[in-house]
Amino acid sequence: MQDLIHRVASMIGDAKKVVVFVGAGLSTESGIPDFRSPGGVWDRYDPEDFYFQNFVSNRYKREKYWEMATEMYDAMKDAKPNAGHRAVAELEKLGKLDCLITQNIDGLHFKAGNSENKVLELHGTAMHVACLDCRRRYERDPIQERITAGDKAPECESCGGLLKPATISFGQRMPERETAEAFRRSAGCDLFIVIGSSLVVYPAAQMPVVAKQSGAKLVIINRDETACDKRADVVIYGQAGTIMAAILNEVRNNLNRKG
């Protein structure tokens, strides 16, 4: 594995535009459950209850949604960034990160030090709540306090519209700006690094393919195999945080030797 770490560090050193693509496999190393795994949230709730159209049309479904969303938020709100998050933040500090594309909704990249203008959240964020009518955004904790006090399906204080965590639900459209920008950055980078994603959720899983077809080198760091492994220049299996920390340590060593 050490040879692969050296190789990826050299690729980062040579690259002009690095795009990092992150999935749930990185957040699990911060203690956030993989909600799709056996015993996770989706084993205890019916996914049909959480389609966006049902949320909009049915108060009972909204109450069930907020019950599930509260359980997920409770697992996220106090989580701390791990070595992988810190390594991606370090890439930005070194001037190597063109952008970070994340499927995660936990906000840990910001806690690690990445700046907002470098992060594209494809599935939104659980750290805020949005009104579906007037688009007002709220911090999450005050809304959770309302739910704890008995408001099982909170509404907007400004317009009375429906409040929903600022995440993308089943049946809800992907955010147009973030999705378009993510594809544009993928096509324009010279190194695309996948961290902790199984690459099965589309359209996001198409982004490493777009990068590779546009001439970028592709690195995949994940616990298990992915559908894109055969396209990749380097694949490293293992704990994403530990591997990324080792890669960034080697990047810093290379920079020190040069400079």
d(CA 240, CA 244): 6
Residue 40 carries which side chain, given as an amino acid letter? G
Both structure tokens of 45: 């709730």
User: Residue with structure tokens 């809304």?
Assistant: 143
Angle at 241 (CA atoms; ends 24, 185), nearest 5 degrees: 60
Which of 6, 85, 109, 123 does the annotation list as catalytic? 123
d(CA 250, CA 259): 14
Question: Among this protein's residues, is 123 annotated catalytic?
Answer: yes
Closest CA to 197 of 155, 159, 247, 235: 235
Give catalytic residue positions.
123
